[in-house]
Amino acid sequence: MKTEWIAVDWGTSHLRAWAMRGDTVLDQAQSDQGMSRVAKGAFQDALLALVEDWLGDAPVDVVACGMVGARQGWVEAPYTAVPSAPVPGLPIRVPGTDPRIRAFVVPGLKQTSPPDVMRGEETQIAGFLDTHPNWDGVICLPGTHTKWAQISAGEVVSFRTFMTGELFDLLRGHSVLQHSVGEGWDDAAFAEAVEDALSKPEQLAARLFGLRAADLLHAQDAGVARARLSGLLIGAELAASRPYWLGQQIAIIGAEGLSAIYAKALQKQGAFVETADATRSTLAGLTKARNLTRQTA
Amino acid sequence: MKTEWIAVDWGTSHLRAWAMRGDTVLDQAQSDQGMSRVAKGAFQDALLALVEDWLGDAPVDVVACGMVGARQGWVEAPYTAVPSAPVPGLPIRVPGTDPRIRAFVVPGLKQTSPPDVMRGEETQIAGFLDTHPNWDGVICLPGTHTKWAQISAGEVVSFRTFMTGELFDLLRGHSVLQHSVGEGWDDAAFAEAVEDALSKPEQLAARLFGLRAADLLHAQDAGVARARLSGLLIGAELAASRPYWLGQQIAIIGAEGLSAIYAKALQKQGAFVETADATRSTLAGLTKARNLTRQTA
């Protein structure tokens, strides 16, 4: 079947594309040509290398979200200030593209105080809200830079980013903890660490070194250490984001495994949580953005 | 003048040696052959390459402290459990050494609950206490893994390690903040960040990402960002270590610049702080350990 348009999720470390007809996926492709690997001026080539087979004679719309809209990206798509609908208007048209495509980039969101930014998550939020009309509450998008967004009347009212995922990767891969944190997992150790961190979040830096000491002194299992590291970091994040989620309806949009971990930690706190698939939310958001481009084509 | 003994500070990333006569330094040498770079079995050679010129026919005592006493080091010097004098007894003799040396390693300290360990700092504490008789209070040893030690009646009663220095290096060098944190410094930004973190320590992971966002949205100066990053991490540490330092006499043993930063932050909280030179404290501690070896020689 003929490709009607192309959906693109272009983050820091990955490039994913889907051949679309309406909201139906016809084909998909991905590469490691994330925004951090592509030089300014080389974005179109990186994309065409992936999607060339889907193109024909008539120009095809390409709608992209993510870091590709940063200053160093394909085209700068200036942030929209919150409060705002997550995808409030027409995406930014990329000038001077190959005649076989018309390319658009969805702008990110910004918050002036406290200063914060997002690129990509606004599209997932838009997709989630499109399939959950009149949904009010808080959306958590766990990942390298986990976002918490307060949603009311179809708008992102405020949001906050936590470097939880990046801290986990740095500590596991590059700190002294690399000798003590391995593969494996332990649900009880995770739950206990979340409780520890929620009740005394300021102790984080000390409890982190405690993972090393527990290995040296008590030969703590490397999988237990991994679950504890995750629990300490997520628990500290939940302590800080409590004003966001306490007493609220919560939706988690993310990768399956990570979403399940966040859901478990929040449910232990008595929170009501639903989860939504990240890719499906991204595609629904890009479809919504694409419909905006058609209205004005 | 003839070398009477050799003092050695052998940490993870450095090896420093001093030719000594009593408590007088005759000469010094250093290399990058820290414990992480030296294979098991190659420690003696790494040391001799540095100190060979100081050796004669009669065996010379070598007294070392630091990570060299770890399981993967020159000889394992098992931890002494607190409460304990920082250097309570004879250092561990290294077996089978070159006939020109008699080598000893000072054991570290351990705490069973919460689990914690130190290697090297116990020698600095011993040196400080040797020159400050009857000193009670709290000693802070800032560095990659900052230690806080509670001292009473000449003993380390308890201690706690914070990964503050390592977190700073990881975040500045390897996280998304590397694009926003540079050289330079700003005293006011540091003080404000310490206050921020002390009053809301659980917000750390969110405030960290705020440094990136403040750069993207407000073009925050890279030196201001560096001072803020340092202030956020040290402020969080001070929030967690408050039970240690509040209302106590405080001594800081560390590198000059870092000690001054900690002193400034603590003084802002109304604390009375004195500082002591790290190298001088190490040498005083090693001298004390060396005197123990002589009594039993």
- DSSP codes of every residue in B62-112: EEEESGGGSTTSSS--PPEESSB-SS-SPPEEPSS--TTEEEEE---EEET
- Which of B167, B202, B212 is nearest residue A239 as measured by Cβ atoms? B202
DSSP codes joined into one string, A195-209: HHHHH-GGGHHHHHH
Contact between chains at B166 and A176 (C-beta distance less than 8 A):
yes
Average pLDDT for consecutive 10-residue bins of chain B (297 residues)?
94 95 96 93 96 94 97 95 96 96 97 96 98 96 96 98 96 95 96 95 90 96 97 96 95 96 96 96 97 76
Which domains are delineated in chain B?
161-277 (3.30.420.310)
- The C-alpha atoms of residue B290 and residue B91 are separated, in whole angstroms, by 8
Question: For chain A, which residues lie within 8 Å of any Cβ of chain B, measuring from their own Cβ?
Answer: 79, 110-112, 114-117, 145, 160-164, 166-167, 170-171, 174-176, 200-210, 212-214, 216-218, 233, 236-237, 239-241
Residue of B nearest to A166 (CA): B175
Region of B49 (left: φ > 0; alpha: ψ -120 to 50; beta: rest) is alpha
Give the residue on A whose Cα is nearest the Cα of B118: A213
| Contact list, A110 vs chain B (CB under 8 Å) | 213, 216-217
Residues of chain A contacting B114 with CB distance shorter than 8 Å: 206-207, 210, 213
| Pair B54, B27: CB distance under 8 Å | yes
Task: Quickly list H helices, chain A.
Answer: 43-51, 121-131, 164-174, 187-199, 204-218, 222-240, 242-245, 256-268, 278-295
- Amino acid identity, position B81: A
User: Are B202 and A205 inside 8 Å of each other by CB?
Assistant: no
| ipTM score | 0.91
Looking at A85-144, list the stretches that DSSP marks H as alpha helix, in order from N- to C-terminal side: 121-131
Q: Which of the residues A35, A166, A237 would you substitute to probe the B interface, choosing the one with the greatest number of B C-beta atoms within 10 Å?
A: A166
Chain A residue numbers with beta carbons less than 8 Å from the beta carbon of B115 are 210, 213-214, 216-218
For residue A216, list chain B residues with Cβ-Cβ distance below 8 A. Answer: 110, 115, 117
Closest-approach residue (CA) in chain A for B36:
A176
Give the nearest partner residue to B240 out of A116, A176, A203, using CB atoms. A203
Rounded Cα gap, residues B262 and B265, in angstroms: 5
Residue B296 pLDDT? 60
Give CA–CA dist A120/A149, Å, rounded: 13
Q: Say how far apart CA A178 and CA A163 lie, in whole Å.
A: 19
Instruction: Please report the number of interchain residue pairs, chain A to chain B, with beta-carbon separation below 8 angstroms.
Output: 126
Tokens 């007809």 -> residue: A21
Cβ-defined contact of A216 to B117 (cutoff 8 Å): yes
d(CA A54, CA A20): 10
The Cα–Cα gap between A158 and A138 comes to 10
Q: Which residue's structure tokens are 């700003």? A: B186
Query: pTM for this one?
Result: 0.93
- The residue ranges of chain A whose pLDDT is under 50 are none
Please report residues of B whose CB lies closer than 8 A to that of A111.
213
With CB atoms and an 8 Å threshold, state whether A202 touches B239.
yes
Contact call for B163 and A237, based on CB within 8 A: no
**DSSP secondary structure string, B114-158?**
TTEEESSHHHHHHHHHHHSTT--EEEEE-STTEEEEEEETTEEEE
What is the C-alpha to C-alpha distance for residues A78 and A83, in angstroms, rounded to an integer? 15
pLDDT of residue A159: 98
H/E element, B226: helix B222-245
Kindly give, in sequence order, each residue whose CB lies less than 8 Å from that of residue B125, ignoring residues fewer than 6 positions away: B86, B139, B141, B149, B151, B156, B253, B281, B285
Distance, in angstroms, between A58 CA and closest chain B CA? 38
Q: How far apart are CA B176 and CA A167, in angstroms?
A: 10
Minimal Cα distance from B238: which residue of A? A202
Q: Measured between alpha carbons, how far is A1 from B179 in angstroms, rounded to an integer?
A: 44
